[in-house]
């Protein structure tokens, strides 16, 4: 294990083990919600001029399920053909990633529905844009305010060189006309979830990125997920207070032959924002794990990416004993033509499932399209950091039981047969959704292996990947007119249930799939 890898792995383990849910921990907790101190769901700057984003958003003719299968990787070579997003395209990406898609008024006020799922509907992920001159938008650093769907310029000028430097000259970032930075304001989620919020940072960022990447692919915009960068450089560029808000991921968009932008000085920003609550509670465990996995030099980021070379799969799958144990997926031949934008507008976390079957073709299509690899700077390009395990309850043509998914073979392997509805409900923190679903997909990661070469930064990547894949399953399910919901879980009980196949692995995410219960008129 290198110095880059081993210096922060222990901190990641301490955090992960200290924030596990168990039957006992849930019942021993005495946390209650202070509704009078609930934080604002938006970051709102005082005194900055708003630049309204276009309302005539672009819609792609590409079907959503085709968009999920399409990867338009950001250009990593100097001779790449230019792809320059304009302001309308940028607005489309921002809106369908994290915009307000519906407003429902009720006697107590107004409920806002967002484009991507978020734990507790607390919406603590913020999006910023760093760009050179784009058609309709001058070079600058901008915050995207979803409350009024407008940009606010924090810095004027081209600061892309700062990001290229902070990533250790990551090729896609160095040549991107625009970069979206995702951040989390801890308190907006910790109000409810306390220290476990750090996991939610990456889950909720991941569901947003699932949308963003799918819409970018539909419009032919190169995009890539970048997790390796010098944290302080990004936080300073965006004017963040790192005790309260931090940068989680970067998404370079578009491609240019060679951006070759200088690295300008970055003066400290002093900008006022509306208070989130009367008072905020700090959770030292969050700050500790984030600080331990932060990079301080560009060389750290480049060395972290280089550590992937020559590594085996992050979590080598256990091969079935015989080919007869494999059940190949059978994706549907005729797929819905609905665009990814329209699917996102319909998407919502299912609140109740009917105990009705889905077809094996539907489950196959969801796994086949949702589990495709994305372009990212962590892990091997041909292997995910997480493995998918499926508990099948009601799938026509597939026996109820627990399965392991083998992505390279696009096949399921039966681990144990049986009716596990009650077990799945228990594993999902005793939530009926998991018991009533047609199938539950758990994402598990071998953190021992990941930490061995990616260190504690690999913990960020594994949690983020769980959120991205879970978000992609959401989109695939809704494209098939089914429902989906992300759920939390009893950590060690999930591992035990899928063992010995999953021995030593840790749960990153859970998505329940099925037929949503229709409201009765």
**pLDDT, position 245:** 98
Q: How far apart are the first and last CA of the chain?
A: 61
327 shares a domain with 301: no
Q: What pLDDT digit, counting tens, does each position of 359-382 carry?
A: 999 999 999 999 999 999 998 888
Q: Are residues 106 and 142 in the same domain?
A: yes
- CA–CA distances in Å: residue 284 to residues 37, 198, 288, 393, 455: 20, 11, 6, 40, 20
74 pLDDT higher than 80? no
> pLDDT grade, residue 309 (50/70/90)?
low
Output the CA torsion 216→456→302→269 (10° steps).
70
Regarding whether 271 and 143 lie in a shared domain, the answer is yes
- Single out the residue in 306, 339, 356 at which a domain terminates: 306
Q: In this structure, is residue 25 part of a structural domain?
A: no
- The answer to whether 12 and 451 have CB atoms below 8 angstroms apart is yes
Q: Is the bond preceding residue 276 a cis peptide, omega within 30 degrees? A: no
Q: Is residue 414 part of a domain?
A: yes
Q: Which of 253-262, 295-304, 356-365, 382-391 has the lowest mean pLDDT?
A: 253-262
Confidence check: pLDDT of 5 > 60: no
Do the domain assignments include residue 94? yes
**Do 359 and 220 share a structural domain?**
no
Question: How much of the chain, in percent, has pLDDT values that exceed 70?
Answer: 92
Looking at the structure, do residues 339 and 281 belong to the same domain, yes or no? no
Question: Where would I find the H helices in 84-242?
Answer: 87-98, 160-166, 171-174, 187-193, 197-218, 231-238
Model pLDDT, residue 103: 85
pLDDT of 127 higher than 60: yes
Chain-centre distance of CA 415, in angstroms?
Answer: 28
Distance between CA atoms of residues 140 and 163, nearest Å: 13
User: Tell me, what's the pLDDT at 399?
Assistant: 97
Q: Does a structural domain hold residue 33?
A: no
Return the ∠ at Cα 386 (arms to 294 and 170), rounded to 5°: 45
Q: Which domain holds residue 477?
A: 323-516
User: How much is the pLDDT for 257?
Assistant: 72
Number of domains in the chain: 2
pLDDT confidence bin for 261, thresholds 50/70/90: confident
Give the chain's mean pLDDT.
92
Lookup: tokens for 476: 């695939």
CATH no. for residue 184? Answer: 3.40.109.10
292 and 370 together in one domain: no
Q: Give residue 84's pLDDT.
A: 84
- Residues 451, 488 within the same domain: yes
Classify residue 314: in a domain, yes or no: no
pLDDT tens per residue, range 483-514: 999 999 999 999 999 999 999 999 999 999 99
Of 255, 276, 306, which closes a domain?
A: 306
Q: Please say whether the beta carbons of 500 and 507 come within 8 A.
A: no
Examine residue 295 and state whether it is found in any structural domain, yes or no.
yes
Three-state DSSP at 308 gives: coil
Biggest CA–CA distance in the chain, Å, is: 66
Do 135 and 236 have their domain in common? yes
CA 7 to chain centre: 25
Both 263 and 373 in one domain: the answer is no
Q: Tell me, yes or no, whether 22 lies in a domain.
A: no
- In this prediction, residue 323 carries a pLDDT of 46
Q: Of 272, 306, 340, which residue constitutes the final position of a domain? A: 306
On whether both 116 and 218 belong to a single domain, the answer is yes
Q: Is the pTM above the cut of 0.75?
A: yes
In a domain, 27, yes or no: no
pLDDT digits (tens, 9 = 90+) for 37-55: 999 999 999 999 999 999 9
Structure tokens at 207: 């569901």
Shared domain for 350 and 296, answered yes or no, is no
Per-residue pLDDT averaged across 249-258, rounded?
Answer: 89
String of DSSP letters for 70-130? ---PPP-STTPPPB---HHHHHHHHHHHH-EEEEEEETTEEEEEESS--GGG---EEEEEE
Same domain, 108 and 248: yes
Q: What percent of the chain has pLDDT over 90?
A: 83
């Amino acid at each position: 294990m290198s110095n880059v890898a081993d210096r922060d792995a222990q901190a990641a383990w301490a955090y992960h083990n200290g924030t596990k849910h168990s039957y006992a921990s849930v019942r021993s907790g005495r946390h209650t919600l202070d509704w009078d101190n609930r934080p604002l769901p938006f970051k709102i700057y005082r005194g900055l001029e708003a630049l309204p984003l276009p309302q005539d958003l672009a819609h792609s003719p590409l079907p959503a399920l085709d968009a999920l299968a399409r990867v338009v990787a950001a250009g990593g070579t100097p001779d790449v053909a230019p792809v320059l997003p304009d302001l309308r395209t940028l607005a489309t990406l921002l809106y369908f990633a994290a915009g307000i898609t519906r407003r429902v008024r009720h006697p107590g006020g107004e409920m806002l529905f967002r484009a991507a799922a978020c734990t507790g509907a607390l919406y603590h992920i913020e999006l910023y844009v760093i760009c050179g001159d784009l058609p309709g938008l001058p070079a600058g650093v901008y915050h995207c305010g979803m409350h009024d769907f407008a940009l606010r310029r924090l810095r004027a000028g081209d600061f892309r060189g700062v990001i290229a430097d902070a990533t250790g000259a990551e090729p896609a970032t160095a040549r991107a006309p625009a970069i979206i930075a995702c951040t989390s304001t801890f308190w907006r989620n910790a109000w409810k979830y306390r220290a476990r919020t750090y996991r939610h940072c990456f889950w909720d960022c991941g569901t947003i990125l699932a949308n963003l990447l799918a819409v970018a692919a539909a419009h032919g915009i190169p995009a890539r997920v970048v997790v390796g960068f010098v944290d302080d450089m990004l936080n300073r560029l965006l004017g963040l207070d790192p005790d309260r808000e931090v940068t989680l991921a970067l998404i370079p968009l578009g491609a240019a032959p060679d951006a070759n932008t200088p690295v300008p000085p970055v003066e400290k920003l002093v900008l006022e924002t509306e208070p989130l609550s009367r008072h905020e509670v700090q959770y030292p465990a969050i700050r500790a794990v984030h600080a331990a996995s932060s990079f301080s030099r560009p060389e750290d980021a480049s060395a972290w990416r280089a550590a992937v070379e020559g590594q085996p799969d992050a979590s080598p799958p256990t091969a079935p004993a015989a080919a007869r144990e494999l059940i190949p997926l059978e994706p549907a031949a005729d797929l819905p033509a609905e665009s990814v934008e329209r699917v996102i507008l319909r998407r919502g976390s299912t609140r109740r499932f009917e105990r009705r079957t889905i077809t094996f073709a539907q489950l196959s299509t969801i796994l086949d399209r949702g589990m495709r690899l994305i372009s990212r700077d962590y892990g091997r390009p041909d292997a995910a950091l997480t493995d998918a395990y499926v508990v099948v309850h009601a799938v026509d043509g597939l026996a109820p039981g627990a399965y392991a998914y083998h992505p390279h073979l696009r096949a399921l392997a039966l681990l144990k047969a049986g009716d596990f509805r009650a077990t799945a409900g228990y594993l999902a923190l005793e939530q009926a959704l998991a018991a009533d679903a047609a199938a539950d997909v758990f994402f598990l990661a071998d953190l021992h292996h990941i930490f061995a070469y990616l260190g504690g930064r690999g913990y960020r990547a594994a949690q983020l990947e769980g959120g991205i894949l879970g978000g992609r399953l959401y989109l695939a399910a809704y494209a098939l007119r089914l429902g989906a919901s992300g759920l939390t879980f009893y950590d060690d009980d999930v591992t035990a249930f899928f063992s010995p196949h999953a021995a030593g692995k840790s749960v990153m995410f859970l998505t329940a799939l099925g037929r949503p219960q229709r409201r009765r008129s």
